[in-house]
Amino acid sequence: MSRLLVTGREKLDGEVYVQGAKNSALPLLAATILTKGENIIFNCPELSDVEASLLILRYLGCGVKRSGKTIIVKSDNVSRFDIPDDLMRKTRSSIVFLGAIIARTGKAKLSFPGGCEIGPRPIDLHLKALREMGAIIEEKHGYLECFAPKGLNGAKIVLSFPSVGATEDIIIAACLANGTTTITNAAREPEICDLAEYLNKCGAKIYGAGEGVVVIDGVTALEGTQHTIIPDRIAAATFMACAAVTGSHVTLDGIVSSHLASIIPIFEESGCKIKSGGGRLDIFAPKRLKSMRIVRTMPYPGFPTDAQAPLLAAACTAQGTSIFVENIFENRYRHIGELVRMGANIKTEGKVAVVEGADALYGAAVEATDLRGAAALAVAGLCAEGTTSIGGVQFLERGYEDFEVVLSSLGADIKKI
As annotated, the active-site residues are 116
Measured from the CB atom, the residue of 37 and 119 that comes closer to ligand EPZ is 119
In this structure, are residues 22 and 259 in contact, taking their beta carbons and an 8 Å threshold?
Answer: no
Pattern 350-369, binding to ligand EPZ, x per CB under 6 A? --------------------
Burial class, 278, CB count within 10 angstroms (exposed 0-12 / middle 13-18 / buried 19+): exposed
Contact between 306 and ligand EPZ per CB under 6 A: yes
Q: Is 123 in the site for ligand EPZ (CB under 6 A)?
A: yes
CA distance 56 to 108: 13
Q: How far is the CB of 159 from ligand EPZ (least distance, A)?
A: 9
Q: Which stretch binds ligand EPZ (CB under 6 A): 71-79, 118-126, 247-255, 287-295?
A: 118-126
3-state secondary structure the chain: CCEEEEECCCCCEEEEECCECHHHHHHHHHHHHHEECEEEEECCCCCHHHHHHHHHHHHHCCEEEEECCEEEEECCCCCCCEECHHHHCCCHHHHHHHHHHHHHHCEEEEECCCCECCECCCCHHHHHHHHHCCCEEEEECCEEEEECCCCCECCEEECCCCCHHHHHHHHHHHCCCECEEEEECCCCCHHHHHHHHHHHHCCCEEECCCCCEEEEECCCCEECCEEECCECHHHHHHHHHHHHHCCCEEEEECCCHHHHCCCHHHHHHCCCEEEEECCEEEEECCCCCECCCEEEECCCCCECHHHHHHHHHHHCCCECEEEEECCCCCCCCHHHHHHHHCCCEEEEECCEEEEECCCCCECCEEECCCHHHHHHHHHHHHHCECEEEEECHHHHHHHCCCHHHHHHHCCCEEEEC
Task: Tell me the residue number closest to ligand EPZ, measured at CB.
Answer: 165
Which window, 38-46, 131-139, 159-167, 194-202, contacts ligand EPZ (CB under 6 A)? 159-167
* Residues within window 186-205 making contact with ligand EPZ, judged by CB under 6 A: 187
Q: Which of 14, 119, 265, 279 binds ligand EPZ (CB under 6 A)?
A: 119
Taking CB under 6 A as the criterion, the residue among 122, 156, 275, 394 binding ligand EPZ is 122
User: Is residue 313 close enough to count as binding ligand EPZ by CB under 6 A?
Assistant: no
Residue 329 in contact with ligand EPZ, rule: CB under 6 A: yes
Residue of 13, 15, 85, 124 that binds ligand EPZ (CB under 6 A)? 124
Out of 88, 125, 250, 311, the only residue in the binding site for ligand EPZ (CB under 6 A) is 125
Q: For residue 31, give the nearest of 230, 231, 222 by alpha carbon.
A: 222
Q: Considering only 117-125, 136-144, 287-295, 341-349, which stretch makes contact with ligand EPZ by CB under 6 A?
A: 117-125
Identify which of residues 104 and 332 has a Cβ nearer to ligand EPZ in the complex. 332
Min dist CB 114 to ligand EPZ, Å, is 12
Binding to ligand EPZ by CB under 6 A, coded x per residue (else -) over 14-33, reads --------xx--x-------
CB 265, min distance to ligand EPZ, A: 19
We find the least distance from the C-beta atom of residue 238 to ligand EPZ, in angstroms, to be 11
Tell me, by CB under 6 A, how many residues bind ligand EPZ.
25
The verdict on 165 binding ligand EPZ (CB under 6 A) reads yes
How many angstroms separate the CA atoms of 380 and 318, rounded?
A: 12
Q: How far is the CB of 196 from ligand EPZ (least distance, A)?
A: 14
For residues 362 and 101, give the distance between their C-alpha atoms in angstroms, rounded to a whole number: 49
12 vs 263, which CB is nearer to ligand EPZ?
A: 263
> Taking the complex as a whole, how short is the minimal distance between the CB of residue 231 and ligand EPZ, in angstroms?
14
Identify the residue among 9, 11, 121, 290 touching ligand EPZ (CB under 6 A): 121
Cβ nearer to ligand EPZ, comparing 298 with 360: 298
Residues in touch with ligand EPZ (CB under 6 A): 22-23, 26, 93, 119, 121-126, 161, 163-166, 187, 304-306, 328-329, 371-372, 399
